[in-house]
Copies of this chain bind each other. A is one copy, B any other.
Amino acid sequence: MSTPPDAATLTPDRARALFRGGLRAPTAGWCAGWTQANLIAVPREDAYDVLLFAQRNPKACPVLDVTEPGGTSASLFRGDLRTDLPGYVVYEDGVPVAEVTDATGHWRDDLVAFLIGCSFTFENALAEAGVPVRHIEQGRNVPMYRTSRPCRGAGALGGRLVVSMRPVPAGRVADAVRVTARYPAVHGAPVHVGDPAALGIADLDAPDFGDAVEVRPGEVPVFWACGVTPQAAVMASRPKFAIGHAPGHMAITDARDGDYLIP
């Protein structure tokens, strides 16, 4: 199976059915107008650290919804969190031990799942404002990078900020800032514009997650905080168990992008 040509116009329900059926694909550009979310699920005993980590790093970890322990759906996500994402990473002691398209066999009764805002949510608004979204144009996953910027720790959880990058023509950077600032619950305005080295990123062509994209002459790399940050914290802090989405392979929720737009 591959990405259907009508991915942009699917309903969340239909997209989730495809993923439940085994399709693995990055979700940028899917289900236009519907909010996408990062997933991090941890045992109940570690849930406070994750929630506090999110509160202390709100730009990277805007919490949209939290399940009850053992819950497999959420008020914003009426599908099954174990099967309806296109990809999962299972962590033991902070080490990725499995990448799966169905996490049912790994799910546990004490897991609390956090849905965290995703910058894909504002990409439709960027495109409408005439700002190019290169990874969608190129049919790739968005490039994501570990930075050298430390997050505020919470209990046993700490790590460094992860960012996503979109190349923007110099004359449109202000528009990109203005448009995305109106979506604070899905990472909001960029955390950095320009020189990747200032964030500790050595090579834009070698992202830590996702795919490299073309940066054209006259374009500036623009960096937004990324909801993969909690997974980077899991890898750095090595809690016993966690399940995350495969970066770029998001939970497509039943919320509308407009729900996160401030007036």
Contact = CB atoms under 8 A, between A and B. Distances in A.
Contact of A51 (B52, B184, B262, B263): B52
Interface string A36-64: 00000000000110011001100000010
A113 to B, nearest CB: 13
A183 B51 CA distance: 23
A10 interface: no
Contacts of A55: 51, 63, 66
Contacts of A255: none
A40 to B, nearest CB: 14
A187 to B, nearest CB: 15
A181 interface: yes
Contacts of A184: 262
Which of A51, A56, A63, A263 has the most CB atoms of chain B within a 10 A radius of its CB? Answer: A51
Contacts of A63: 55
A117 to B, nearest CB: 13
A186 to B, nearest CB: 15
Contacts of A56: 66
Nearest to A47: B48
A263 B66 contact: no
Contact of A263 (B52, B181, B263): B181
A51 B61 CA distance: 14
Contacts of A181: 263
A51 B63 CA distance: 12
Interface in A233-263: 262-263
A66 B263 CA distance: 29
A63 B47 CA distance: 17
A216 to B, nearest CB: 30
A262 B188 CA distance: 12
Contacts of A47: 48
A56 to B, nearest CB: 8
A212 B55 CA distance: 35
Nearest to A64: B55
Interface of A: 47-48, 51-52, 55-56, 63, 66, 181, 184, 262-263
The 4 tightest CB contacts between A and B, nearest first, are: A48-B48, A51-B51, A55-B63, A47-B48
